[in-house]
Amino acid sequence: MTRKLFGTDGVRGTANTWPMTADMALKIGAAAGRYFRNDGSNGHRVVIGKDTRLSGYMFENALTAGLTSTGMNVLLLGPVPTPAVGMLTTSMRADVGIMISASHNPHHDNGIKFFGPDGFKLSDEAEAEIEALVEAEIEPAQAVNIGRATRIDDGRFRYAERLKSTFPSGMSLAGLKVVVDCANGAAYRVAPEVLWEMGAEVIPVGTTPNGLNINDNCGSTSTQTAAEAVVTHGADVGICLDGDADRVMIIDENGHVADGDQLMALIAGRWAEWGKLRGGTLVATVMSNLGLERFLTDKGLRLERTAVGDRYVVEAMRKGDWNLGGEQSGHIVMTDYGTTGDGLLAGLQVLATMVETGQPASALVQQFETVPQVLKNVRYAAGKTPLEDASVKAAIAEAEAQLAATGRVLIRKSGTEPLIRVMAESTDDGLMTQVVDDIVAAVEAVA
């Protein structure tokens, strides 16, 4: 079944522009309600969380209206990280969880992500069925069966306690000075609270959301502010989250940034030593650096690659019964503790390793030498299909032939924005840059 609304991570777009309108959110809510309240009873629940975007109020109300109109009872969590929604969906015995967020995107974007009753993101098939219901005539519940909406005040505290429970027993963060950049997003309260409660001296950054400043020169996609804070305050480490706190970048004491590949290498290596890395396998996407793959191979471990998107990483993990995976962008998924990427949880794993080993962050978060990588994005006009153009296909084929001996090329369409992502890796910097520029030029010519 072809999907028009749902992309690689739910429904996403610019607020007040199709499909991210209040009217469409109401229809999506009603469709989800009809899909999950399939026996007509009034015992069905949905939890809704959101980040700090101004449009979150609008979508929260519209989704609530749609869901209650079909008989679902709505539990409103307010601003909480995406992984908290996955966790609370299961612990509150909800049929579905919804997160209103566009993750690392600017404030004017927003999105709607769904979690099933097991806390994992919905399958493509389930999303396709909900989309089909959106396009159909949805029968509302009878007046006596309209659902109720209730504010839940302790959602973030429940999530905080779960996070702290993952830390080694008897260990604390006393003596560590930690910068935490919350991107003016969903973790602006819970992240500093958790770190302080665990004993750290906390320097907060990006904790004054105003609805418009989420991810604005802060967070995991803009680490300079946090890096400067680490150096200025003489901090031991920096934790940079994105707008919904499901991804992380780590900054060492010198202000150097470590991405998701380096963090996965650290965690995979430690877990393998403890016999905890199930199947000796790490799951990552096609975007992860070749250096990570070589690092794992040298340790007798293997890398299982998937399509881009943390949902596909999780699907592979569940299918293979593996417990660690993620993305270069900083989504780190540890199914022993949670059901989706969790930036703060991954940060705590790094902090635990620092405490256990007594080593500084700089000695831990640069586990391998990266193969040089170039990534460029090309925006294309609505209705265009640049990757189907013969000239673009020819440019890609030529690049693959040129890099065959020294690296690789990866070209893909973004699942969340009208962008073509052009990536290459090679030990030959000059050739790598040339082939990327050639492909970009070919795409721009038809975009």
Write out the catalytic residue numbers: 103
d(CA 164, CA 30): 36
Query: Please, what's the largest Cα pairwise distance for the chain?
Result: 69
* Residue 77 and residue 84 in contact, taking contact as beta carbons nearer than 8 Å: yes
For residue 87, what is the enclosing H or E element?
helix 82-91
Cβ count within 10 A of residue 189: 17
* Residue 377 and residue 422 in contact, taking contact as beta carbons nearer than 8 Å: yes
Q: Where are the beta strands (DSSP E) in 167-301?
A: 177-181, 201-205, 237-241, 248-251, 257-258, 281-285
* Residue 242 and residue 214 in contact, taking contact as beta carbons nearer than 8 Å: no
Q: Which residues does 172 contact at the CB level (< 8 Å), separation at least 6?
A: 198, 199, 355
**Bridge partners for 14 per DSSP:** 109
- Which DSSP category does 412 fall into? E
d(CA 290, CA 292): 5
Q: Token digits for 26? A: 């109401």
Q: Where are the beta strands (DSSP E) in 265-351?
A: 281-285, 302-306, 324-326, 332-334
* Residue 113 and residue 20 in contact, taking contact as beta carbons nearer than 8 Å: no
Q: Is 177 left (phi over 0), alpha (psi -120 to 50) or beta?
A: beta
- Which DSSP category does 386 fall into? G
Lookup result for tokens 């219901």 = 133
Lookup result for tokens 């020169």 = 217
d(CA 114, CA 87): 13
* Residue 215 and residue 192 in contact, taking contact as beta carbons nearer than 8 Å: no
